[in-house]
Amino acid sequence: MIRGLALRMALPFALFLGIAEVVRNWGDWGFWPFWVVDYIAVALLIWAWWAAGSRQAGGASLLAGAWGFTCAMFYMAFFAHLESLEVPERGPIDQRPLTVIIGILFGVTVLGFASSLVAAKGERLPSPGGEAGDPRGT
What does the alpha-carbon distance between residue 87 and residue 99 come to, in Å, rounded to a whole number? 12
Does the pLDDT value for residue 78 go beyond 80? yes
Give per-residue pLDDT as tens, 3-54. Answer: 689 999 999 999 999 999 988 878 777 777 878 999 999 999 999 999 998 8
Residues 113-133 as b/e (b if ≥16 CB within 10 A, e otherwise) read: bebbbebbeebeeeeeeeeee
Domain count, the chain: 1
Alpha helical stretches, state H, 26-130: 33-53, 59-83, 95-121
pTM, 2 dp: 0.82
- Domain of residue 118 covers 2-123
Assess whether pLDDT exceeds 60 at residue 131: no
For residue 129, is pLDDT > 70? no
pLDDT (tens digit, 9 = 90+) per residue, 90-111?
777 888 999 999 999 999 999 9
Whether the predicted pLDDT of 133 surpasses 70: no
CB 69 within 8 A of CB 38: no
Distance CA 137, CA 110 (A): 34
Q: Is the pLDDT score of 68 beyond 50?
A: yes
100 inside domain: yes
- Residue 79 inside a domain? The answer is yes
Task: Specify the DSSP class assigned to residue 32.
Answer: T
Model pLDDT, residue 125: 58
**110 located within any domain:** yes
pLDDT band at 120 (very low <50, low <70, confident <90, very high): confident
- In a domain, residue 43? The reply is yes
Percent of the chain with pLDDT over 70: 86
